[in-house]
Amino acid sequence: MKLKTVKILQYALLGLAILCMALLYVKESRVIGILGVLSAVGAILVNLIFWRCPKCGKWLGRDSGGSFCKHCGTAIDTGKKD
Residue 60 to residue 25: CA distance in whole angstroms: 36
- Asked whether the whole model's pTM tops 0.85, one would answer no
* Chain center to CA of 23: 22
For the chain, 82 residues long, give each residue's pLDDT as a single digit of tens: 788 898 899 999 999 999 999 998 888 889 999 999 999 999 999 989 998 888 888 888 776 566 788 888 888 876 665 4
pLDDT for the residue 45:
95
CA distances from 67 to 7, 14, 39, 64, 82 (A): 15, 24, 28, 8, 10
pLDDT for the residue 69:
83
- Residue 75 bridge partners (DSSP): 68
